[in-house]
Chains A and B, each alone.
Chain A
Amino acid sequence: MRERAGIRAEAARLKALFEVAGARSVEAPVLVPAEALLDLYGEDIRARAYTTSDTLRGEQMLRPDFTVPVVQMHMEHGAEPARYTYAGEVFRRQEDDAGRANEYIQVGYEVFERDNPAAADAEVFALIQSVLNGLPLRAATGDIGLLTAAVSGLRTTDRRKAALMRHIWRPRRFRALIDRYSGRAGMPPTRAALLADPDPMVGAAPVIGQRSPDEIEARIAALREDAAAAPISEGEVALMDALLSVRETVPYALEQLRDLAVDMAAIAPAVERLKARAGAMAARGVDVERLDFEASYGRTQMEYYDGFVFGFHAEGRPDLPPVATGGRYDALTRVLGQGSEIPAVGGVVRPGLMLTLREGRE
């Protein structure tokens, strides 16, 4: 393992840079109540975070990142707008790859601001890019907001849209749902039999457990309604596929997306936001002409991001995790804020990996 003092010094240097950029330095607890994380991420978080417990506070997790504690802190007593920075260890459970660190230092920069999201996105990206300057990294960007806009614009039932939205971050289930709603995949025979049965609850096994018969009847009614709904058209599925496969530099991606928006009007505002963001980035000196954009980027790794997403990856080192990642997480503040919300965007860098790459250069 790299010498900790060196990584700490690098972390302190980065944090000082973030403070110069206007952020207030904040601390966060190492132990986070498990319930908040489980509610947000579901059971999968257990594969990524270490869980511990005592008889007084119940289950706690060693913080897998700072986002949740920083958002909670801000929602409780933060002034607006606010910029925060922090540096400290995060803990990631590793069950398959012993070569990956289970404890490392992250330095972060988070912006909570209502006005001009394009400018805030650009500010975070440009700042993170500037502190990484000189390292052999490739930046990737994406925008989950395009995908959610496309789903909400589908000409189909609200129930189907809600199911697709719920699985934006699970591409495999998302694809299976699209296939079924469009009729590409047939109905499972057991479901066909269920729907053909006028009274499927007759003769069923005894009622046990907390899921009640009326919940089952409600779902059967929903399935019947779904079976009667028109399939999502081939044309719409083709547009969705085309959207998901956009992978270009920002100017060409914008061109392709504008073409798609002609037939997919729902994404037009999201495309405009992307254009505004590109403009704001260029104004901050980011070379957007050569910046990569992938419409599918961030779908599998970054569950709570719901708008702009980005990552910096070490070139020629696919074995290394990204050196920096970030994005917009408005929905997270909505969930944690219990009624209140504030648009938020942020990013983190890993000083340990930066030192590793810098040494590799020398």
Chain B
Amino acid sequence: MSVKLGVPSKGRLMEKSFDWFGARGVKLARSGSDREYAGAVEGIDGVELVLLSASEIPRELAAGRIHLGVTGTDLVREKLGGWERQVEELAPLGFGQADLVIAVPGFWVDVDTLDDLDAAAAAFRARHGFRMRIATKYHRLVREFLREQGVADYQLVDSQGATEGTVKNETAEAIADITSSGDTLRANHLKILSDGLILKSQATLFRSRGSNCSQEDRVVMAELMARLELD
């Protein structure tokens, strides 16, 4: 057995994660060729690096197949019901910042708040005969947010990519998506509602509450936590 650490398998998130652990004396690296998803850990014994898609890390943590994992708070909250009972947030890592926001066409000069969106949705349904469509891949987070805020007469339509283009393509009237700078939204003639911030997300180190640890693993975990200054 060993302590399994899940890290995003590619791109900036992987590199920044490697940097964060490296700065604390735990050297992570992809082993073998560039295309092989296997990892190596130096500087501490008994820790195994598991490279995974960031979107699968919440599920693996919940199932207890990995002990620790780096992923976005947005993904954990979207994918895990009662997330606090399934995983523990150990440390925000200071990168991968993104906001989950609701955005509408910039020319909707009459819509700036959720209150406006709700009123516009009611009028839209009366005029068009269907509920105003909001494109997103964060169904649970968006629905919970809008229910809490008392917005009605909308529907969520699934969009797994290029969500900012859905309004122009007339498959949605508004969107709920992750943005970091807002540039893509602006380029697609969309604006963020002034009270439309659903969640501030960043890459975060999580610990599974459901994984089994052998006595040996516990010692390794304690040592790792000390190294990462999280004890």
Does A42 lie within 8 Å of B81, measured CB to CB? no
A186-227 CB contact bits vs B (8 Å, 1 = yes)?
A: 001011001000001100111111110101101110010000
**Choice from A42, A174, A191, A201 contacting B154 with Cβ under 8 Å:** A42
A358 at interface, CB cutoff 8 A = no
Nearest chain B CB to A295 CB, angstrom units = 20
Chain A contacts for B146, CB-based, 8 A: 43
Chain A contacts for B122, CB-based, 8 A: 163, 166
Given the contacts A43-B154, A188-B112, A205 and B119 also touching, CB distance less than 8 Å: no
Does B82 lie within 8 Å of A42, measured CB to CB? no
Nearest chain B CB to A189 CB, angstrom units = 9
Does B105 lie within 8 Å of A176, measured CB to CB? no
Q: A residues engaging B (CB < 8 A)?
A: 38-39, 42-44, 46-47, 94-98, 163, 166-167, 170, 172-174, 176, 180, 188, 190-191, 194, 200-201, 204-211, 213, 215-216, 218-220, 223
- Please name the 8 residue pairs, one residue from A and one from B, whose CB atoms are nearest each other, closest first: A173-B150, A205-B106, A95-B81, A170-B150, A190-B112, A204-B107, A209-B167, A205-B107
B114-156 CB contact bits vs A (8 Å, 1 = yes)?
A: 0110111011100110011000000110011011111111111
* Complex A-B: 17 CB contacts under 8 Å: A42-B155, A43-B156, A44-B147, A95-B82, A173-B115, A173-B118, A173-B151, A188-B194, A191-B112, A200-B110, A201-B107, A208-B168, A210-B173, A216-B108, A219-B110, A219-B120, A220-B109
Given the contacts A205-B105, A220-B109, A43 and B143 also touching, CB distance less than 8 Å: yes
Given the contacts A43-B155, A167-B152, A205 and B189 also touching, CB distance less than 8 Å: yes
B188-201 CB contact bits vs A (8 Å, 1 = yes)?
A: 01010010000000
Does A209 lie within 8 Å of B109, measured CB to CB? no
Residue of B nearest to A172 (CB): B150
Within 8 A of A (CB), among B162-213: 167-168, 170, 172-173, 189, 191, 194
Nearest chain A CB to B124 CB, angstrom units = 6
Does A219 lie within 8 Å of B123, measured CB to CB? yes
Does B147 lie within 8 Å of A47, measured CB to CB? yes
Chain A contacts for B81, CB-based, 8 A: 94-96
Nearest chain A CB to B122 CB, angstrom units = 6
Task: Select the residue from A43, A176, A211 with max chain B CB neighbours within 10 A.
Answer: A211
5 more A-B contacts (CB under 8 A) besides A43-B155, A95-B81?
A: A38-B155, A46-B156, A188-B112, A201-B109, A219-B123
Residue of A nearest to B155 (CB): A43
Chain A contacts for B132, CB-based, 8 A: 211
Nearest chain B CB to A209 CB, angstrom units = 4
Does A211 lie within 8 Å of B105, measured CB to CB? yes
CA distance A229 to B42 in the complex (A): 71
Nearest chain A CB to B163 CB, angstrom units = 13
CA distance A96 to B194 in the complex (A): 29
CA distance A46 to B147 in the complex (A): 11
CA distance A46 to B150 in the complex (A): 16
CA distance A201 to B108 in the complex (A): 9
Does B109 lie within 8 Å of A194, measured CB to CB? yes
Chain A contacts for B191, CB-based, 8 A: 205
CA distance A209 to B104 in the complex (A): 10
Does A215 lie within 8 Å of B123, measured CB to CB? yes
Does B156 lie within 8 Å of A211, measured CB to CB? no
Does A194 lie within 8 Å of B110, measured CB to CB? yes
Residue of A nearest to B151 (CB): A173
CA distance A167 to B147 in the complex (A): 12
Nearest chain A CB to B149 CB, angstrom units = 7
CA distance A211 to B123 in the complex (A): 10
Nearest chain B CB to A91 CB, angstrom units = 16
Nearest chain A CB to B164 CB, angstrom units = 11
Chain B contacts for A208, CB-based, 8 A: 105, 107, 167-168, 189
Chain B contacts for A191, CB-based, 8 A: 112-113, 116
CA distance A174 to B150 in the complex (A): 8
Residue of B nearest to A191 (CB): B112
CA distance A219 to B110 in the complex (A): 7
CA distance A216 to B127 in the complex (A): 12
Chain A contacts for B116, CB-based, 8 A: 191
Given the contacts A172-B150, A190-B112, A211 and B119 also touching, CB distance less than 8 Å: no
Chain A contacts for B131, CB-based, 8 A: 38-39, 42-43
Nearest chain B CB to A219 CB, angstrom units = 5
Chain B contacts for A211, CB-based, 8 A: 105, 108, 120, 124, 132, 173
Given the contacts A38-B155, A210-B170, A46 and B143 also touching, CB distance less than 8 Å: yes
Does A47 lie within 8 Å of B144, measured CB to CB? yes
Chain A contacts for B173, CB-based, 8 A: 209-211
